[in-house]
Amino acid sequence: MSSDQQQPRGPVDSSRIPRFAGPATFARLPRLDEVGRADVAVVGVPFDSGVSYRPGARFGSNAVREASRLLRPYNPAQDASPFALAQVADAGDIAANPFDIHEAVETVERAAGELLDTGARLMTLGGDHTIALPLLRAVARKHGPVALLHFDAHLDTWDTYFGAEYTHGTPFRRAVEEGILDTSALSHVGTRGPLYGKKDLTDDAKMGFGIVTSADVMRRGVDEVADQLRQRIGDRPLYVSIDIDCLDPAHAPGTGTPEAGGMTSRELLEILRGLASCNLVSADVVEVAPAYDHAEITSVAASHTAYELTTLMARRIAAERESAER
Ligand SMILES: N=C(N)NCCCC(=O)O
Ligand SMILES: [Zn+2]
Ligand SMILES: [Zn+2]
């Protein structure tokens, strides 16, 4: 860090103020309005009007914030202190219309674009998976078509539900149609469970997606999977979208469309750590529905997932700053 730069303001000191006291921001970090600008803006999108089964992900953003109180400032798995490497701040919530999906999608795209215009990378806490589409639109407006790494039990490349084009099962088909994804670097990880027909898979492959199923992760192991993903992504601008239902219901019961046979939270976190060299430009963690959770199992997993993603972004920001100063 050059001497003229201010040190980032980190989390509240949990040895002085108990971590269960005070309002919850992500990881007890300052609010964006307290620090002015951020390198990584953690933003909530409490929207779940695009779900096909159990509702409730609108309460996910705040559940993840609450569960993130126990996060600590040093990440040993990545040997990095993310909140010292970069200014990470909680940007609050994007208020989207729960009764009008088209309007909500526009609101999320506009608000995300405004945050990106400040130079921040986004760590978004959902909300249901519908919100990935406007987030990708905003990111692609800045970076051009991006590589996508999508962790999910589901493909989310279906066409419509009840005639609706914007739902949590359709964001990535829309994104491919709109040309905002780099179709040479699209991967699903954690895929499993029953489909409507084989065509779901052939359509998905035609769009350019590669699939690493949850069984592949178990058989091949996390290091080999991460190596393969890293090779496919290269140095392209990368967006990572994590549907918490990529985890087994034992690791993430609090979600709207659970499927048996999923990854463990340990596998997810390890694969993410294996992406350390990638140019992660923004990310989301979605589909946490706390009403079906127990003992914060799901929101704790989601908060640690967001912490690993934030660490990846902070490390990349620090590396870019160093190479610019050289
Ligand atoms: N994105 C999530 N979580 N689920 C999509 C499931 C769509 C369906 O009900 O077929
Ligand atoms: Zn899913
Ligand atoms: Zn999904």
d(CA 51, CA 129): 8
ipTM above 0.90, yes or no: yes
* Per-residue model confidence as pLDDT tens for the chain (326 residues): 544 568 999 999 999 999 999 999 999 999 999 999 999 999 999 999 999 999 999 999 999 999 999 999 999 999 999 999 999 999 999 999 999 999 999 999 999 999 999 999 999 999 999 999 999 999 999 999 999 999 999 999 999 999 999 999 999 999 999 999 999 999 999 999 999 999 999 999 999 999 999 999 999 999 999 999 999 999 999 999 999 999 999 999 999 999 999 999 999 999 999 999 999 999 999 999 999 999 999 999 999 999 999 999 999 999 999 999 98
Judge if the beta carbon of residue 52 lies within 6 A of ligand 1: yes
Tell me what pLDDT residue 3 has: 46
- State the greatest distance between any 2 C-alpha atoms of the chain, in Å, as a whole number: 59
Q: Which ligand is nearest to the CA of 50?
A: 1
Q: Which of 49, 129, 162 to mutate to test the pocket of ligand 1 (most atoms within 8 A of CB)?
A: 129
129 lines ligand 1 (CB under 6 A): yes
The CATH number corresponding to 26-325 among 2.60.40.10, 3.40.1190.10, 3.40.1110.10, 3.40.800.10 equals 3.40.800.10
The CA 188 to ligand 1 mean position distance, Å, reads 14
- Is any ligand 1 atom within 6 A of the Cβ of residue 54? no
Tell me how far the alpha carbon of residue 78 lies from the centroid of ligand 3, in angstroms.
Answer: 27
130 Cα to the center of ligand 3, angstroms: 8
Contact 299, 66 (CB under 8 A): yes
Measured from the CB, is residue 243 less than 6 Å from ligand 1?
yes
Distance 266 CA to ligand 1 centre (A): 23
Residue nearest to atom 7 of ligand 1 (CA): 169
Numbered residues of the known binding site: 129, 152, 154, 156, 243, 245
Describe the strand order of the beta sheet including 279-286 as a list of residue ranges: 88-93, 40-45, 121-126, 279-286, 237-243, 146-151, 181-191, 209-213
Distance from C-alpha of 160 to C-alpha of 261, rounded to nearest angstrom: 26
CA of 257 to the centre of ligand 3 (A): 9
Contact present, 167 and 208 (Cβ < 8 Å): no
Half-sphere exposure (Cβ direction) of 282: Cα atoms closer than 13 Å:
29
Pick the ligand that lies closest to the CA of residue 52.
1
191 lines ligand 1 (CB under 6 A): no
Q: Is 259 in the pocket of ligand 1 (CB under 6 A)?
A: no
**Measured CA angle at 239 (ends 260, 286), to 5 deg:** 40
| In the chain, where the domains are located | 26-325
**Residue whose CA is at the smallest distance from ligand 1 atom 3:** 257
Query: Which residues are annotated binding-site positions for Mn(2+)?
Result: 129, 152, 154, 156, 243, 245
Q: Measured from the CB, is residue 245 less than 6 Å from ligand 1? A: yes
Q: Using CA positions, which residue lies closest to atom 6 of ligand 1?
A: 169
Give the per-residue pLDDT at 180. 99
Ligand nearest to the CA of 169: 1
